[in-house]
Amino acid sequence: MVKQSICKVVFASLLIFSSFLNICAQSPLAYLEQSYPQLTEMFREELSKYPAHYIFAVDVSGTMNQYSGTVTSSLIPFFQALPNNDRVDMIPFGTEAITNMLSYCGVIEPQVRTALCQNISNLYTDPSYQQGFKSFTDIPKAVQAIAKVIQNNREYKVNVIVILTDFRNDVKGDSPSEHKLSKKDIDNMNAAIGAATNNVYTRSIALELPVDKSKPGYCLPQLKNEVFPQEGTGMEIVPLTNPGVMIGQWFEQLKRDIMVTKLKAVIENANRLNPIRLNTDIDIDGNVEAKVHWTPSKLYPTMKIDSTYMDGDDFVFHNNKENFTHTRDSVLELDLGQIKNKSVGFSHLEDSINLGLDLPTPYDNELASLGIKKPLPNTKQSTDKWLFTFCMPFWLTLTLLILFILYIIGVIRAISRNNSLCFKGNITFYDAEGNQLDDIVRLPKQAPSTVLVIGSGGSPRCKVDDAEWQMVVEKKKSNPFLVFTKPYFEWRATRKYVASGKAMSGKLNYDDSTSVRVKCGISRSEQTHSVKIQMVK
């Protein structure tokens, strides 16, 4: 039983060890394909065309001799793993910083790789160093040398800077020689590094040895915070608590990070978005239509509008969210929603319309894992306009208001017409055969009501032989709130001699002629007369 248990443990250990060997033996490209599958596939061609430039600034002064064997033995397998067309520049520094030493630089190809591996063992003891070269550690000269090497090799778009020193600034000729970086040193180094790394992806790494940080010349914090600031190239600090072991392990890790660094550099180069143009059209009711112009890219082929908002607090933007969809079109026309003021009525909009945009991708997690921050493509447009805020659109509100005003005018006119209209007309009499009996009787303007007497006993103006008839004409007012109705006059017979014995009445329209036919007579004879009344203004 014990033997079986031991066998199981050994077998499990072999499996774990085998897996570990497979991981260690995994090629850098295979690691990318496993860790960043979508991005690796997308930028595979660019990766093959992106040689990297490695700049090693190695302190070879006397205080660093204790690490010489560890550093040189760790660099050899690192150089062996570099692909062709990468470039290496070793900058040994102490009292001075030396660039372009043929033994320690070149573009990687088989012969250069072999020469580097052979020559690196002499890095700390090279006989070409001048006397006193190893007596001091001039950090500003080392940084200036790094900037010079990058400037001289601008064709490389990926730079990896590795600084290995105890970061004790010790300058020949200064008193005291060991001191922190001066403001002048910092300004000069910052300007040189900034100019050298402008538009070039640069990864700066400081290998931090277990040194006494209380020494007067310890300047690593100054380098990180003031020379390699975060908003620029930045500096990554790698603590080496056990340099004898960890330097080799770190270089092993860096071999795998080579391709990650290249991939990140390629993506950083593509991690741009052309300016987005926003043109808005706002009507009087605050309805916002927009045209968005943008340029899809390889990394960000899709855009999504996720919000719109105002800068100020007086207006509220009601988003039309159903139109916020993903798009690959370079020109997008949208109904963004409606802007309303918090109070009712007309209000002056003098604000900015902000468009919140997102660049969704299926590889957001890969970008985050690489430390790539997507651009924030929010855009805005200033606007200066008068808006109308109400429960109804402006055109409908205005139409109803005009109709209401017209109605009030109609009511006023109806009231005036009711009050001003009086009886006035022309009366003509005809016999039974339709012959005019007398001249037209023209009545003057009368009161709202009048009495007409027709017949031998009536008014001389209305004398008709063999007729005896009297009628009353009264004005009937219209309802002023029914503006299309008009007042009229109503007549009725109040005294008559009519064979039929029926009372007679009727309506006299103000604008029309009205004929009234009556049968009337004296004694027992009957005659039929026709009375035509024409109202006039």
Give the pLDDT band (50/70/90) at residue 142. Answer: very high
Listed residue (310, 294, 262, 321) closest to 375, CA to CA: 294
The per-residue pLDDT for 495 is: 59
Please spell the DSSP secondary structure of 376-401, one letter per residue.
Answer: ---EEEEEEEEEEESSS-HHHHHHHH
Q: Which two tokens stand for residue 167?
A: 């970061």
**pTM for this structure?**
0.56
Strands (E), 431-521: 441-442, 449-455, 468-476, 488-496, 505-508, 513-520
Are the C-beta atoms of residues 473 and 461 closer than 8 Å to each other?
no
Burial code of 8-18, b = ≥16 C-beta within 10 A, e = fewer? eeeeeeeeeee
Sheet of strand 277-282: strand arrangement: 277-282, 287-293, 331-341, 315-319
Tell me the one-letter amino acid at 276.
I
Listed residue (228, 236, 238) closest to 191, CA to CA: 228
Alpha-carbon span 105 to 271, nearest angstrom: 31
The 3-state DSSP class for residue 368 equals helix
Sheet of strand 441-442: strand arrangement: 441-442, 425-430, 527-535, 513-520
Look up the CATH number of domain 278-389: 2.60.40
The per-residue pLDDT for 187 is: 94
Q: What Cα–Cα distance (Å) separates residue 308 from each residue in 150, 289, 296, 338, 385? A: 44, 12, 21, 10, 18
CA atoms within 13 A on the CB side of 224: 13
The per-residue pLDDT for 352 is: 85
Alpha-carbon span 273 to 458, nearest angstrom: 104
Q: What Cα–Cα distance (Å) separates residue 529 from each residue in 197, 432, 433, 501? A: 119, 5, 9, 15
Alpha-carbon span 148 to 161, nearest angstrom: 13
Alpha-carbon span 26 to 29, nearest angstrom: 8
The 3-state DSSP class for residue 402 equals helix
Tell me the one-letter amino acid at 308.
T
The pLDDT tens digits of the residues spanning 108-124 come to 999 999 999 999 999 99
Other CB atoms within a 10 A radius of the CB of residue 351 amount to 19
Instruction: Give me the residues paired with residue 339 across strands.
Output: 317
Find which of 24-38, 203-217, 309-323 is predicted with most confidence, using mean pLDDT: 203-217
Listed residue (127, 118, 146) closest to 59, CA to CA: 146
Listed residue (283, 306, 310, 305) closest to 292, CA to CA: 305
Between residues 205 and 470, which one has the greater pLDDT? 205
Q: Which two tokens stand for residue 365?
A: 């997690």
Least confident of 54-68, 199-213, 468-482, 520-534: 520-534
The per-residue pLDDT for 288 is: 87
Please spell the DSSP secondary structure of 97-141, one letter per residue.
Answer: B----GGGEEE-SHHHHHHHHHHGGGTTT-TTSPTTTTS-B-HHH
The per-residue pLDDT for 461 is: 47
Mean pLDDT of 118-132: 93
User: Does position 208 have pLDDT exceeding 60, yes or no?
Assistant: yes
Tell me the one-letter amino acid at 76.
I
Give the pLDDT band (50/70/90) at residue 514. Answer: low
Residue with token string 């000269």: 141
Alpha-carbon span 324 to 356, nearest angstrom: 10
DSSP H helical segments within 135-219, as ranges? Answer: 139-151, 183-196
* Secondary-structure breakdown of the chain: helix, strand, coil percentages, each rounded to the nearest 5: 35, 30, 35
Mean pLDDT of 257-269: 83
Are the C-beta atoms of residues 276 and 292 closer than 8 Å to each other?
yes
Alpha-carbon span 470 to 98, nearest angstrom: 137
User: Does position 2 have pLDDT exceeding 60, yes or no?
Assistant: no
User: Does position 103 have pLDDT exceeding 50, yes or no?
Assistant: yes
Q: What Cα–Cα distance (Å) separates residue 514 from each residue in 163, 312, 474? A: 118, 71, 15
Domains in the chain: boundaries: 1-35, 37-270, 278-389, 425-535
Q: Which two tokens stand for residue 477?
A: 């007012």
Phi, psi angles (nearest 5°) of residue 287: -70, 130
The per-residue pLDDT for 445 is: 58
Tell me the one-letter amino acid at 226.
E
The pLDDT tens digits of the residues spanning 287-307 come to 888 888 888 989 999 988 888
CATH class, 37-270 region:
alpha beta
Residue with token string 């392990």: 249
For the chain, what is the radius of gyration of the CA atoms? Answer: 52
Mean pLDDT over all residues of the chain? Answer: 80
